[in-house]
Amino acid sequence: MDDIPVMEGMLYVKVFDSPVAHGKIVNLDFVAAEQMENIVKIFSYKDVPGENQIGGIIPDEPLLADHEVHFRGQPVLLIVAENEDAAEEACKRIKIEIDPLPVITDPREAFIQGKLLSPSRKFEMGDTKNAFSNCVHIFEGQAVSGGQEQLYLETQGAYAYPTEHDSVKIFSSTQGPTQVQRTVARVLGVGMNKVEVDVPRLGGGFGGKEDQASAWGAMAAMVAWKLKRPAKCIPHRMEDMRMTGKRNPYSSDYKIGFDADLKIMAYEAVFYQNGGAAADLSPAILERTLFHATNSYHIPHVMITAHSCKTNLPPNTAFRGFGGPQGMFVIESAIDHAAKALQVHKDTIQRKNMMDNGDEFPYGQIVTECQSKHCWDEVMERYEVGAAKKEIENFNQQNHFYKKGLSLMPVCFGISFTNTMMNQARALVHVYSDGTVAVSTGAVEMGQGVNSKMLQVAANCFGISHSKIKLETTNTTRVANTSPSAASSTADLNGKALLDACNQVKERLFAFIKTQLAANEDAVVDIKEEVVFINNEASAFNWKSLVQQAFMKRVNLSAKGHYATPVINFDKTTEKGHPFAYHVYGTALTMVTVDCIRGTYDIDAVKVVHDFGSSMNRAVDLGQCEGGIVQGIGWMTMEEVIYNDEGKLLSNALSTYKIPDIYAVPQILDIQFLNTDGNELAIFRSKAVGEPPLMYGIGAYFAIRNAVLAFNPSSPIGYDAPITPEKVLMALYPHTSK
């Protein structure tokens, strides 16, 4: 946001948020605050010109609280000031009285009280009841995974100014420009055509700005539109952490059954998702949990139930993996539980039950181009896992206060928005008369490198240098009705749309040159390094002269591309279909050392074989893989979101919320590219890479847990992530910890 030059007369917008997690507003007095110097106006819900509603999937979230508050940090008023200091001062003069109502922070408690955000969902395959009656071993338990703060380097925010014809332009730090546009239009009560959203790039998103950027966009836009002045609304870090939602915590029950040969015959799980005070994206996240509940395993009889529970926390939301990691953690816990009880290595059970081509996912899609066993076996061999296990056993026998642990974590992640409708994209290409090119897509660059990939698509299609191409900002006036940059699908969807646009221009240019050179209809035209070839022979034309002459002959040098993923479908009434274009596979080996005096640990190594398909940009893909792994380790080990019983965020700053730094990065982080043919639905057969690697981080949890058990085999340690050093210490010395 702060890369954008602002206009003179810009107003500063500060949010006054609820100090209480649940209650009725009985008195709200901001008269004195509004009369202070340099305060222009204070907006309440009564000032919202259109609908006071920002809920995307379900309309259950007001922009500004009206009569009740449902979470601590819920926006109540907007203080509009000439400068930041004045807004801060005015904030202190606002008086709010709230009659408290009961606060729920636990999803199971919410479920018992019937507080659900959306209808519960159930995926079923086979007959678990009958299958369990034939099982030789059955294990049941609970698994809990915590929240995760997105902690994008750049906080949420928007800058807006009024434009002609009663319109408004918004610069937004959002993954979903169209979502901001739609929300602003609704809040202002105007058509979407009056709202322009522009996104140059973000300082990180990680899912936190897939939907939750909309509120900030609406706040800035409402002020700018009503007061006819530019306005900026950017929360400080602690405000952002307090007011916005995080990865959904889950509490889950599992039941897993095996035959005598350790084949998993049946699996049941019940997921209680902590959705927070409004639906936000939680119902969609819940769906992705169901899709990933069996991870890389083929299980013939499955019954998975999921509840999106309404609590008095800020609405939880997307975070890289989008419910997938939460689902995988539970099945990995169930298998680990069984392995410990049966005294076999977990990897024996994992490998034995790995899925293969022709198997059916619980949601009806058939497994194809499966690389699960391929990646797994490659890890076992390349990284000599057998020898590594022996070394760790020896080390643990020889050392008392240091223990090592190891784990294997397979990942199978579905690529596509689970909502089929969202799998579409458009792109706009202008070739200018001097041969330079401007590209607009719906893709938002947030550090993931999507612009590099878009540049490659255009350069490769036209056969020209990257230096001739400019990637424009993501803008709703140039490319409309975009899906958010999310679901790992941004490069695929926008890349395919861009390829369509570029091909249209290219075909016109090729037709033109054939006429120009009186070449045969079926002559083969090609452009390589900006030289035009006819039937593999260099012609007198280069890219620039071709474009110039085509323009003189009035050839259309612009095109709009469109792409909608073929094949995919899903029927929510039967919970069956083919929701994913393809799957991404891989396996990670994780090795750790736990300091059994202090409870601290080091991640010694994460070694991965990952299915990138045919990678179109190894540097970008490697970066995504490394970043995802470290972020996944953070979620599973050190990042602990803590609310107290009153719904107050205690881990509200970087002093109390620890994210991975360079010292937390594994000593060895080795990633092998499993080169496969990729998938034709992936752009240039280069598979989506944004989210899948995050789930390798789950391996760190189990490796640390194994090290704890090596020190204290009778430790009552459960399955409760994150496994912080504090929890490790308690688990090492359960009897002395009181």
**Span interacting with ligand MOS, options 20-28, 66-74, 312-320, 646-654, rule CB under 6 A:** 312-320
Q: Which tokens belong to 237?
A: 């870090």
Alpha-helical (H) ranges within 244-345 are 282-291, 324-342
Cβ-based nearer residue to ligand MOS, 72 or 320:
320
What angle in degrees, to the nearest 10, is found between the helix axes of 177-188 and 213-227? 40
**Span interacting with ligand MOS, options 49-57, 64-72, 318-326, 598-606, rule CB under 6 A:** 318-326
Cβ-based nearer residue to ligand MOS, 487 or 557:
487
What lies within 8 Å, CB to CB, of 513 at 6+ separation is 519, 525, 532, 534, 539, 541, 546, 550
Considering the complex, what minimum distance in angstroms separates the CB of residue 249 from ligand MOS?
15
- Of 160, 169, 177, 156, nearest to 224 by C-alpha is 160
| Maximum distance among all Cα pairs of the chain, rounded to whole angstroms | 90
Place of tokens 């803008």: 475
**Span interacting with ligand MOS, options 296-304, 316-324, 408-416, 422-430, rule CB under 6 A:** 316-324
Q: How many residues bind ligand MOS (CB under 6 A)?
A: 9
Q: Which tokens belong to 495?
A: 């890349």
Considering the complex, what minimum distance in angstroms separates the CB of residue 317 from ligand MOS?
8
Q: Based on the shown chain and the rule CB under 6 A, indicate whether residue 486 belongs to the binding site for ligand MOS.
A: yes
Q: Based on the shown chain and the rule CB under 6 A, indicate whether residue 320 belongs to the binding site for ligand MOS.
A: yes
Q: Based on the shown chain and the rule CB under 6 A, indicate whether residue 631 belongs to the binding site for ligand MOS.
A: no
Q: How far apart are CA 180 and CA 134, in angstroms?
A: 53
Considering the complex, what minimum distance in angstroms separates the CB of residue 343 from ligand MOS?
38
Q: Quick one: which of 43, 272, 322, 541 contacts ligand MOS (CB under 6 A)?
A: 322
Q: How far apart are CA 569 and CA 514, in angstroms?
A: 41
Considering the complex, what minimum distance in angstroms separates the CB of residue 324 from ligand MOS?
9
**Span interacting with ligand MOS, options 303-311, 315-323, 458-466, 507-515, rule CB under 6 A:** 315-323
Cβ-based nearer residue to ligand MOS, 79 or 487:
487
Considering the complex, what minimum distance in angstroms separates the CB of residue 174 from ligand MOS?
11
Q: CB of 131 within 8 A of CB of 300?
A: yes
Considering the complex, what minimum distance in angstroms separates the CB of residue 308 from ligand MOS?
16
Q: CB of 406 within 8 A of CB of 389?
A: yes
Considering the complex, what minimum distance in angstroms separates the CB of residue 486 from ligand MOS?
3
Q: Based on the shown chain and the rule CB under 6 A, indicate whether residue 292 belongs to the binding site for ligand MOS.
A: no
Q: Return the residue nearest ligand MOS (CB atom).
A: 207
- Of 43, 42, 62, nearest to 52 by C-alpha is 62
- Residues 380-419 binding ligand MOS (CB under 6 A) are none
- Residues 707-736 binding ligand MOS (CB under 6 A) are none
Cβ-based nearer residue to ligand MOS, 170 or 318:
318
Cβ-based nearer residue to ligand MOS, 319 or 701:
319
Q: CB of 143 within 8 A of CB of 333?
A: yes
Cβ-based nearer residue to ligand MOS, 52 or 150:
150
Q: Based on the shown chain and the rule CB under 6 A, indicate whether residue 487 belongs to the binding site for ligand MOS.
A: yes
Q: How far apart are CA 281 and CA 64, in angstroms?
A: 19
Q: Which tokens belong to 564?
A: 């909608």
Q: Based on the shown chain and the rule CB under 6 A, indicate whether residue 318 belongs to the binding site for ligand MOS.
A: yes
Q: Quick one: which of 196, 210, 347, 621 contacts ligand MOS (CB under 6 A)?
A: 210
Q: Quick one: which of 62, 107, 147, 207 contacts ligand MOS (CB under 6 A)?
A: 207
Q: How far apart are CA 375 and CA 361, in angstroms?
A: 19
User: What single string gives the DSSP state of each residue in 456-511?
Assistant: HHHHHHHT--GGGEEEPPEETTTS-SPPPS-TT-HHHHHHHHHHHHHHHHHHHHHH
Within the chain, how many helices (H) and strands (E) appear? 18, 29
Cβ-based nearer residue to ligand MOS, 141 or 414:
414
Q: How far apart are CA 444 and CA 431, in angstroms?
A: 22
What lies within 8 Å, CB to CB, of 474 at 6+ separation is 177, 198, 199, 200, 440, 441, 442, 443, 444, 445, 482
**Span interacting with ligand MOS, options 98-106, 236-244, 313-321, 723-731, rule CB under 6 A:** 313-321
Cβ-based nearer residue to ligand MOS, 207 or 362:
207
User: Strand 11-17 vs strand 231-233: parallel, antiparallel, or unpaired?
Assistant: parallel
Q: Which tokens belong to 654?
A: 């970087």
- Residues 138-197 binding ligand MOS (CB under 6 A) are 175
Q: Based on the shown chain and the rule CB under 6 A, indicate whether residue 291 belongs to the binding site for ligand MOS.
A: no
Q: Quick one: which of 319, 402, 413, 635 contacts ligand MOS (CB under 6 A)?
A: 319
**CA distances, 76 to each of 73, 96, 219, 230, 458 (Å):** 9, 10, 11, 21, 46
Considering the complex, what minimum distance in angstroms separates the CB of residue 398 from ligand MOS?
43
Active site residues: 691
Considering the complex, what minimum distance in angstroms separates the CB of residue 56 from ligand MOS?
12
Name 264's bridge partners. Answer: 258
Considering the complex, what minimum distance in angstroms separates the CB of residue 448 from ligand MOS?
10
What angle in degrees, to the nearest 10, is found between the helix axes of 324-342 and 698-711? 30
Residues that bind ligand MOS (CB under 6 A): 175, 207, 210, 318-320, 322, 486-487
